């Protein structure tokens, strides 16, 4: 007998089918099917033939593929019993509970005392499908691998897109051709990792940023994930996501995956990007005061590093406020005896040598300038040279003789006493001072991967958030080493990268926007000569790139000359004028015929206005700029378009282009079909084009 279940929203239909009481498989996930589609016929239509060299029946590609049912690829579950004997479960369907927008599927292997529960939920507003799996056993088991409910990957797709990276080089796109066998990516460093953002995009052949079909997946877990994208010997394809393998270090009777977030798009990569951006913004992140505009940040790290000197910091704060900053974040160096990165992590007491009267005078000064105050912490870490370590060497995670990272070890957050200690120290700090923001850093990988560490971190964050609901938190891990929807359920901003090089940032934040909305993505105006790339970039580019996301400054503002300060003030004022609608805008990638240009359109939620940022990273091959086609506008509407920074056109841009002298009114159809030709420009500059339905 064959049973089927379907979930629908305006964008997609997902159909599962179980045959002869076996664990169900996804047999359809794509554009909406007619409401009266015959499900039995649909199931029958996808039955595969059998030929030579095959089993007599094709094994199911179920939501938990089972080796014991002759599945020829990677199984969805690998576990051993308490004695270490591998178990090969064989699940029978027990129950499917269907609500309007969700399915709870329960399967059991009664002989082995195992129950498998999958949950699949639709979100009709964001169109993100959330999938989780749970395993419950009668006795303790050792889990090696549990995949979130497994999805088939499209056949009409040549390649997969996933994301590598490094410190100061996050979100690097990898394109890999499908071929028989497995592409396995795994972050085994105990954190999400710069190297393996847990995301995958599967575009259909011919899909572009703006058109075509694609599937997007993101695994919301901060402890390191495993991704398996496999083409089976028979040609079918599967995708699995779960926690990195073997990170459950103790036997247990219950294991769960983190949520896998999945998106189908028939609107190109932008359909993926906007669904994830909206889901992150509307479902994942929670803000203490949602309607409060994002404040412009000032962060002192690249201005002073560990050299905290109160008069100097006050002077910097005064300059930052004059430029438009609204929140001053005191970075690393304020606690213990932290004069460099060799000591004091764990000793979360204000350094009396640097702050003889505590942080009060600095906070008063900052507040007197109209800014709020934020502070840097790295709670999960401990310096061997710290009073805390000397008192509790046993609190460190991993072997005693482990390799250090940035001269530091990691605290074992699975220990309740460690979590209590950190809670006490952080809550004392928050109670004693008016602090509305924590930059929560995590600067080394774990000495070994351990899921309990991540659960401990989540528990600490959850407790602090419950008790200090007005404090916002930024997730930083040497820049973008911990970015995922798991940490974003507990934080409000991510520090995308330690690179404040505007050119690098332009590329990184463009690609990160496949998953992340502007409102949570920090972006700072760095020093004139970038500290991590050595490149000198103009203030205009630096300012506009920061204005593409949650804007901030991180240079010593005293280095700005009068003209630079004026440009930064103007761009900051522009950002403040626009930040309310920008906070809810979609970031849309534009297909540009010129590889030297990285262009995106931020389109207001109600479609009435947009801004295009077109960054020129290098000189073009051809003389004339190629037209830039916009997207998702109303073809019938007339837009008044205006080159915001037209005064920046260089002398070598000699033509009398209308767009250089005033607004133009033009239809959405023209802007999307023919596009707009922007003036000639120097490399390392950005055009900012605003558009509005008048």
Least distance CB 311 / ligand DGJ (angstroms): 22
Q: Does 572 bind ligand DGJ (CB under 6 A)?
A: no
Least distance CB 302 / ligand DGJ (angstroms): 8
The separation between CA 102 and the C-alpha centre of its own chain, rounded to angstroms, equals: 25
Binding region for ligand DGJ (CB under 6 A) out of 36-44, 253-261, 277-285, 476-484? 476-484
Q: Which is nearer to ligand DGJ, 123 or 331 (CB)?
A: 331
Least distance CB 460 / ligand DGJ (angstroms): 19
Q: How many CB atoms lie within 10 A of CB 422?
A: 23
Cα(130)–Cα(363) distance, integer angstroms:
42
Q: Does 441 bind ligand DGJ (CB under 6 A)?
A: yes
Least distance CB 555 / ligand DGJ (angstroms): 13
Q: What angle is formed at CA 451 by the lines to CA 448 and CA 457, rounded to 5 degrees?
A: 100
Q: Does 332 bind ligand DGJ (CB under 6 A)?
A: yes
Q: Which is nearer to ligand DGJ, 376 or 485 (CB)?
A: 376
Q: How many CB atoms lie within 10 A of CB 680?
A: 17
Token pair for 297: 């940040």
Residues near 622 by Cβ (< 8 Å), separated by ≥ 6?
594
Q: Does 478 bind ligand DGJ (CB under 6 A)?
A: yes
Residue pair 151/30 in contact (Cβ under 8 Å)? The answer is no
Q: Does 479 bind ligand DGJ (CB under 6 A)?
A: yes
Least distance CB 692 / ligand DGJ (angstroms): 36
Q: Does 556 bind ligand DGJ (CB under 6 A)?
A: no
Q: Which is nearer to ligand DGJ, 18 or 383 (CB)?
A: 383
Residues near 642 by Cβ (< 8 Å), separated by ≥ 6?
662, 663, 664, 689, 690, 691, 692
Cα(151)–Cα(157) distance, integer angstroms:
15
Cα(659)–Cα(649) distance, integer angstroms:
11
Binding region for ligand DGJ (CB under 6 A) out of 413-421, 475-483, 502-510, 672-680? 475-483
Q: Does 380 bind ligand DGJ (CB under 6 A)?
A: no
Cα(683)–Cα(687) distance, integer angstroms:
11
Residue in this structure with the two tokens 């499917």, named with its chain if needed: 96
Cα(193)–Cα(198) distance, integer angstroms:
9
Q: Which is nearer to ligand DGJ, 28 or 373 (CB)?
A: 373
Least distance CB 295 / ligand DGJ (angstroms): 18
Q: Which is nearer to ligand DGJ, 162 or 332 (CB)?
A: 332
The separation between CA 287 and the C-alpha centre of its own chain, rounded to angstroms, equals: 17
Token pair for 178: 């499908």
Q: Which is nearer to ligand DGJ, 493 or 609 (CB)?
A: 493
Query: x/- contact string, 396-435, with ligand DGJ (CB under 6 A)?
Result: ----------------------------------------
Counting residues that bind ligand DGJ (by CB under 6 A) gives: 11
Q: Does 495 bind ligand DGJ (CB under 6 A)?
A: yes
Binding region for ligand DGJ (CB under 6 A) out of 17-25, 196-204, 317-325, 471-479? 471-479
Rounded alpha-carbon distances, angstroms, from residue 237 to 4, 68, 157, 180, 277: 21, 19, 10, 9, 27
Q: Which is nearer to ligand DGJ, 332 or 511 (CB)?
A: 332
- Helices 310-323 and 562-582 meet at what angle, rounded to 10? 60
**Active site members:** 441, 498
Burial class (CB in 10 A: 0-12, 13-18, 19+), 470: exposed
Q: Which is nearer to ligand DGJ, 149 or 481 (CB)?
A: 481
Least distance CB 477 / ligand DGJ (angstroms): 7
Binding region for ligand DGJ (CB under 6 A) out of 93-101, 111-119, 367-375, 472-480? 472-480
Q: Which is nearer to ligand DGJ, 230 or 441 (CB)?
A: 441
Least distance CB 334 / ligand DGJ (angstroms): 11
Least distance CB 498 / ligand DGJ (angstroms): 5
Q: Which is nearer to ligand DGJ, 260 or 303 (CB)?
A: 303
Cβ-count burial 524-544 (b if 16+ within 10 Å, e if not): bbbbbebbbbeeebbbbbbbb
Nearest-CB residue for ligand DGJ: 332
Least distance CB 13 / ligand DGJ (angstroms): 43
Least distance CB 331 / ligand DGJ (angstroms): 5
Query: x/- contact string, 496-525, with ligand DGJ (CB under 6 A)?
Result: --x---------------------------
Q: Does 301 bind ligand DGJ (CB under 6 A)?
A: yes
Cα(312)–Cα(204) distance, integer angstroms:
55
Among 171, 376, 389, 395, contact with ligand DGJ (rule: CB under 6 A):
376
Cα(109)–Cα(116) distance, integer angstroms:
8
Q: Which is nearer to ligand DGJ, 197 or 495 (CB)?
A: 495
Q: Does 443 bind ligand DGJ (CB under 6 A)?
A: yes
Q: Does 331 bind ligand DGJ (CB under 6 A)?
A: yes
Query: x/- contact string, 268-297, with ligand DGJ (CB under 6 A)?
Result: ------------------------------
Binding region for ligand DGJ (CB under 6 A) out of 115-123, 474-482, 651-659, 669-677? 474-482
Residue pair 334/359 in contact (Cβ under 8 Å)? The answer is yes
Residue pair 669/644 in contact (Cβ under 8 Å)? The answer is no
Residues near 328 by Cβ (< 8 Å), separated by ≥ 6?
298, 300, 317, 320, 321, 366, 369, 371, 372, 373, 374
User: Strand 102-109 to strand 114-121: parallel, antiparallel, or no bridges (unpaired)?
Assistant: antiparallel
Least distance CB 494 / ligand DGJ (angstroms): 11
Residue in this structure with the two tokens 């003209």, named with its chain if needed: 563
Q: Does 345 bind ligand DGJ (CB under 6 A)?
A: no
Q: Does 165 bind ligand DGJ (CB under 6 A)?
A: no
DSSP codes, 135-191: EEEEEEEEEEEE-SS-EEPPSS-SEEEEEEEETTEEEEEEEEE--SEEEEEE--SSS
Q: Which is nearer to ligand DGJ, 435 or 585 (CB)?
A: 435
Give the interface with ligand DGJ as residue ranges (CB under 6 A). 301, 331-332, 376, 441, 443, 476, 478-479, 495, 498
């Amino acid at each position: 007998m064959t049973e089927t279940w379907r979930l629908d929203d305006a964008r997609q239909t997902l159909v599962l089918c179980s045959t002869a009481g076996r664990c169900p498989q996804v047999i359809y996930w794509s554009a909406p099917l007619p409401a009266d589609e015959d499900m039995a016929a649909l199931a029958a239509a996808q039955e595969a033939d059998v030929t030579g060299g095959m089993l007599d029946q094709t094994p199911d590609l179920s939501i938990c593929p089972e080796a014991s049912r002759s599945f020829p690829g990677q199984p969805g579950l690998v576990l051993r019993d308490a004695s270490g004997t591998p178990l090969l479960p064989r699940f029978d369907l027990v129950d499917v509970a269907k609500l309007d927008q969700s399915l709870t599927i329960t399967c059991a292997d009664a002989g082995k005392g195992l129950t498998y529960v999958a949950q699949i939920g639709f979100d009709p507003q964001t169109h993100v499908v959330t999938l989780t799996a749970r395993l419950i056993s009668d006795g303790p088991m050792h889990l090696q691998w549990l995949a979130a409910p497994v999805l088939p990957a499209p056949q009409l797709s040549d390649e997969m897109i996933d994301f590598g990276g490094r410190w100061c080089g996050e979100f690097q796109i990898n394109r890999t051709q499908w071929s028989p066998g497995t592409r396995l990516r795994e972050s085994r460093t105990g954190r999400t990792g710069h190297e393996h953002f847990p995301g995958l995009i599967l575009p259909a052949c011919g899909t572009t940023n703006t058109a075509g079909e694609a599937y997007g997946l993101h695994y919301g877990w901060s402890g390191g994930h495993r991704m398996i994208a496999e083409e089976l010997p028979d040609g079918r394809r599967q995708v699995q996501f779960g926690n990195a393998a073997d990170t459950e270090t103790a036997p247990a009777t219950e294991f769960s995956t983190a949520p896998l977030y999945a998106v189908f798009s028939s609107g190109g990569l932008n359909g993926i990007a906007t669904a994830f951006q909206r889901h992150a913004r509307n479902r994942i992140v929670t803000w203490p005061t949602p309607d409060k505009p994002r404040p412009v940040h000032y962060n002192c790290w690249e201005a002073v590093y560990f050299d905290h000197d109160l008069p100097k910091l006050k002077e910097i704060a005064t300059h930052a406020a004059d430029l438009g900053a609204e929140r001053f974040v005191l970075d690393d160096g304020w606690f213990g005896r932290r004069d460099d990165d060799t000591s004091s992590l764990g000793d979360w007491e204000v350094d009396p040598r640097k702050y003889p009267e505590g942080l009060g005078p600095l906070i008063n000064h900052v507040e007197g300038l109209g800014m709020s105050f934020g502070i840097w912490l790295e709670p999960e870490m401990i310096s061997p040279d710290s009073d805390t370590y000397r008192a509790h060497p046993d609190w460190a995670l991993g072997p005693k003789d482990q390799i250090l990272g940035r001269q530091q070890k990691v605290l074992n957050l699975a220990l309740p006493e460690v979590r209590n200690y950190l809670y006490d120290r952080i809550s004392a700090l928050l109670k004693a001072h008016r602090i509305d923001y924590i930059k929560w850093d995590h600067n080394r990988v774990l000495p070994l991967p351990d899921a309990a560490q991540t659960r401990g971190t989540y528990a600490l964050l959850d407790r602090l958030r419950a008790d200090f609901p007005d404090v916002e938190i930024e997730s930083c891990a040497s820049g973008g080493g911990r970015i995922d929807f798991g940490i974003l359920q507990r934080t409000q901003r991510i520090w995308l990268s330690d690179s404040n090089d505007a050119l690098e940032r332009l590329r990184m934040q463009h690609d990160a926007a496949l998953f992340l909305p502007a409102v949570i993505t920090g972006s700072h105006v760095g020093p004139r000569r970038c500290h991590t790339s050595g490149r000198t970039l103009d203030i205009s580019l630096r300012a506009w790139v920061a204005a593409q996301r949650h804007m901030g400054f991180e240079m010593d503002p005293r280095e700005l000359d009068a003209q630079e300060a004026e440009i930064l003030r103007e761009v900051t004022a522009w950002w403040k004028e626009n930040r309310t609608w920008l906070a809810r805008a979609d970031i849309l990638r534009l297909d540009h015929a010129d590889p030297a240009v990285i262009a995106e359109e931020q389109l207001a939620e109600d479609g009435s206005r947009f801004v295009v940022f077109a960054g020129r990273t290098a000189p073009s091959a051809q003389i004339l700029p190629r037209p830039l086609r916009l997207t998702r506008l109303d073809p019938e509407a007339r837009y008044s378009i205006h080159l915001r920074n037209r005064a920046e056109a260089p002398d070598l841009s000699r033509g009398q282009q209308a767009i250089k002298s005033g607004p133009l009114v033009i239809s959405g159809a023209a802007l999307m079909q023919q596009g707009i030709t922007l003036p000639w420009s120097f490399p390392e500059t950005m055009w900012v084009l605003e558009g509005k339905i008048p």
